[in-house]
Chain A
Amino acid sequence: MSLRLHLTAYLGLLLLLGLTIGVHVLDLKNGSLMISLGIAVLKGALIGMVFMGFRRAQGMVRLYAIAGLFWFFLLLGFVMNDLLTRG
């Protein structure tokens, strides 16, 4: 943990926020939202890795985080699978 690292991550987050708004203004139709969500994943990863210290977290913490995401995507995946494959 250092001030420089935190500042770099913060500036990166602001840059990504600017990029999100820029992509929205450019209006790439459906592509805009997908790109914005991709940027949100990057922002979330930056916050998680740097601010939450995930990159130096113990193995069990990593397992918990991965399990959490797994359950979430399982929930989302099965609900959407049912909805999108109805006749």
Chain B
Amino acid sequence: MRDSVKEQFYTGTQQKLSVELGMWLFLLTELMLFGAFLTAYANLRSLHPSAFFEASRHLDLKLASLNTFLLLSSSFFMAEAVRLADAGRRFRCLAALGVTLLLGAAFLGVKGLEYYNEWKEHLLPTPDFRFPLESLEREAKLFFTVYLVLTFTHALHLLTGLIWMLGLGLRELFVPDSLKAHPQTIECLGLYWHFVDIVWVFLFPLLYLVGGPT
């Protein structure tokens, strides 16, 4: 592993700690991004509680619950992929990465289906927006705007993670032992993936569970 230590570091441990710290710093900036959106959400929700209550009931809780299950499962396989890479189990690591990739792609597919259903029901914030309770239409549109911004930003992050994962997996397939030579890459990917999962864990109650059961 010594030969994979970059010239600016004295030891592999120092490099590992620096990369880890850098990744956490990046995640901190991501927290600021989602934090700003979540603050906007809290602001609007406190201004229009009844509209948020009603609008939330028009989201598909079943699909969102399925997506939460998919993402939590993907996090488990991602953690396993990192552990297996660390243990030098190359093929098992690639298999765990593959399952994570499939679960992540399934999440995006379900999310796409959800957007499609909402678009058909005129619930996405476009000029064609219509809400069954006309008196709350303006405020409900605010809810769906925040919903779209939060979930779409999250989905873009997930897509980035999937592209990263695919690249890492293909590199290991075609350039064997690249995982061994760059052990921090998969660790950083793992941290990123789990962070995106945590964001969803909070979006789920904030967006889908605001209203009472339908």
Contacts and interface: CB of A to CB of B under 8 A. Distances in A.
Given A47-B194, A51-B194, A71-B35, A6 B46 contact: no
Contacts of B38: 72, 76
B15 interface: no
Interface string B66-84: 0011001101101110110
Given A20-B204, A83-B46, A52 B72 contact: no
A64 B25 contact: yes
Interface in B4-26: 17, 20-21, 24-25
Contact of A75 (B25, B39, B190, B210): B39
- The range of chain B's interface size is 35 or more
Given A3-B80, A10-B73, A24-B213, A33 B35 contact: no
Given A57-B20, A80-B42, A72 B35 contact: yes
Interface of B: 17, 20-21, 24-25, 27-28, 31-32, 35-36, 38-39, 42-43, 46-47, 61, 65, 68-69, 72-73, 75-76, 78-80, 82-83, 86, 190-191, 194-195, 197-198, 201-202, 204-206, 209-210, 212-213
